[in-house]
Amino acid sequence: MRMKLTLMAVSTAILANPAAAFAQTRDFGSAGGFQVAGKASTRDEPGGCIALFEYDGPGSTKTTLFRTVKPDHESIVWLTVVNFEWSAKEGETYELSYVFDDGTYDRSAYGVKNDVIYKGFMAGFPADEFLPTYAKSASLNIYMGDTVVDKLKLTGSTAGVALFNRCWTWVLGTERAAQAERDRFKGIPRDPFAKTGN
């Protein structure tokens, strides 16, 4: 249940409007057809990286890779797949198989919607294992039991994941710098008068 709530929180913040969620970001440009942007952490929100890819074909499938420095999430990369012809229900669980050239991931994915008309699903994967698999694969076929959900070509994934990882390195660097700054002032209250009642 905790994983489901986490997925729903991420999907609400990022998928409802990826561009707005990553306002005031660093644009890393594009590579292999992937548009990549990064966001440094603020006082209220953790930083992260997002990579968007849009496909031709029925329903114009869109995929999103997302990774955040939110505590306990650094080792996870989230993959969403949405399509404007699908009727997936937000919050519903779907048992899916993600079949790459060299391996298969079976996952409980959760229904999401993007920009109202795009609906699909989202699942988390171990980043250090999943990203290299994603990068070196020529295709990703997704199944729900015996039903083909989608067949996606990953011809630009090597370059796209490399740019995504470059973004992640930048995000981690901003985190280290921010932590060093916090450590400088550790022990000094933000407002020393807050407890005096004045």
**Residue 77: which pLDDT band, with cuts at 50, 70 and 90?**
very high
Q: What residue segments make up the domains of the chain, in order of their start? A: 2-177
Looking at the predicted structure, is the pLDDT value of residue 114 above 90?
no
Task: Give the CATH fold of the 2-177 domain.
Answer: Immunoglobulin-like (2.60.40)
CA–CA distances in Å: residue 172 to residues 86, 154, 167, 175: 36, 26, 9, 5
SS3 123: strand
**Residue 197: which pLDDT band, with cuts at 50, 70 and 90?**
low
pLDDT digits (tens, 9 = 90+) for 87-96: 999 999 999 9
Please state which of the ranges 15-24, 40-49, 75-84, 105-114 shows the lowest mean pLDDT: 15-24
Backbone angles phi, psi at 159, to 5 degrees: -70, -40
- Helix axis angle, 127-136 to 157-184, nearest 10°: 150
**What DSSP line would sit under 6-71, residue for residue?**
HHHHHHHHHTS-HHHHT-S-EEEEEETTEEEEEE---SSS--EEEEEEE--STT--EEEEEEE-ST
Instruction: Give the C-alpha separation, 46 to 153, whole Å.
Output: 31
pLDDT value of residue 5: 40
pLDDT value of residue 74: 77
**Residue 10: which pLDDT band, with cuts at 50, 70 and 90?**
very low
| The pair of three-digit structure tokens given for residue 48, joined into one six-digit string | 């992260």
Region of 195 (left: φ > 0; alpha: ψ -120 to 50; beta: rest) is: alpha
DSSP 165: H
Instruction: Give the C-alpha separation, 98 to 107, whole Å.
Output: 8
